[in-house]
Amino acid sequence: MQIISHPLYLAPIPLYAQLYASQGMLLDADSSFIKQTFRNRTIIATENGAQALTIPVVHNYLQTMRDVRISEHGNWRHQHWNAIQSAYRKSPFFDYYADDFAHFYEEKDGFLLDFNMRLHNVVCELLGLEREIAILEKTSVESIENNFSDLRPLASVQEIEKEKYLNYQPYYQVFAQRNGFIPNLSIIDLLFNMGPEGLLVLRDTKHLSSK
């Protein structure tokens, strides 16, 4: 079984739980880009609770994800990396993995798709999650969709908050004693808190229904 997803920014853990149970993933880069989704937003756990980090983009009407360029307006890279450091510097594995992510917030990438895919590859490498990944071609969408688990709804912030995505496997979080366990966060929350054992959390998380 394989899955279809939009290319997401440090995607939520439920996507990786489903990827763990699959043979690979196809990324839909040709559907319309929609703002205020996980295409350019991720959510981390801070001392004050969940915090959204959003990449500013140069967005034109009816633009596809493949064509979306990252905007360098507002020094967002510095802000995102500062927020990540503040949230996870006391986590067990932040020092081990920080250098693998820091350079993403120093370099300038042209396209959001490339940025998201490069981050995804690093996450999978650090977790030891070896799965095939490919771009879904326009000509094959109709013939493929019925044979794949469609997780493209996970790009929606509202969709992931629905009950069917709350079948999570709890794990250690730095601020859990203060805020309680927060589910469905960015995959980096699992990685920085659990390290290689994050793969076991993905294994034990109930597989999600895409229906």
**Is a pLDDT exceeding 80 seen at residue 60?**
no
Cβ neighbors of 70 (< 8 A, separation 6 or more) are 55, 56, 57, 58, 108, 109, 110, 111, 112, 115
Q: What is the DSSP letter of 107?
A: S
Backbone torsions φ then ψ of 76, nearest 5 degrees: -65, -30
pLDDT given at position 177: 92
Residue 143 predicted with pLDDT over 70: no
pLDDT band for position 210 (50/70/90)?
very low
What are the CA-CA distances from residue 160 to residues 15, 61, 121, 151 (Å)? Answer: 10, 25, 22, 10
Of 51-55, 67-71, 107-111, 198-202, give the lowest mean pLDDT range. Answer: 107-111
What is the mean pLDDT of the segment spanning 164-178? 82
pLDDT for position 93:
98
Q: What is the pLDDT of residue 211?
A: 39
Q: Is pLDDT at 155 greater than 70 in this prediction? A: yes
Alpha-carbon gap, residue 197 to 80, rounded angstroms: 25
- Residue 141's pLDDT is 54
Delimit the domains of the chain by residue range.
Answer: 2-204
What are the tens digits of pLDDT across the range 84-133?
Answer: 999 999 999 999 999 999 999 998 878 999 999 999 999 999 999 999 89
* Cβ pair 156, 37 in contact under 8 A: yes
pLDDT, tens digit (0-9, with 9 covering 90-100), for 1-47: 789 999 999 999 999 999 999 989 999 999 899 988 999 999 999 99
Q: What is the pLDDT of residue 107?
A: 83
Statement: residue 63 has pLDDT above 70: yes
Taking the mean position of all CA atoms in its chain, how far away is CA 19?
12
Strand ranges for 13-128 from DSSP E: 24-27, 41-46, 49-54, 57-58, 69-70
Mean per-residue pLDDT over the chain, rounded: 89
Q: For residue 65, is pLDDT > 90?
A: yes
Q: Does 72 or 17 have the greater pLDDT score?
A: 17
Q: What is the pLDDT of residue 169?
A: 84
Burial class (CB in 10 A: 0-12, 13-18, 19+), 158: exposed
**pLDDT class for 145, splitting at 50, 70, 90?**
low
Q: Which of 57, 14, 2, 3 is nearest to 157 (CA)?
A: 14
Query: Contact, 113 vs 133, CB < 8 A?
Result: no
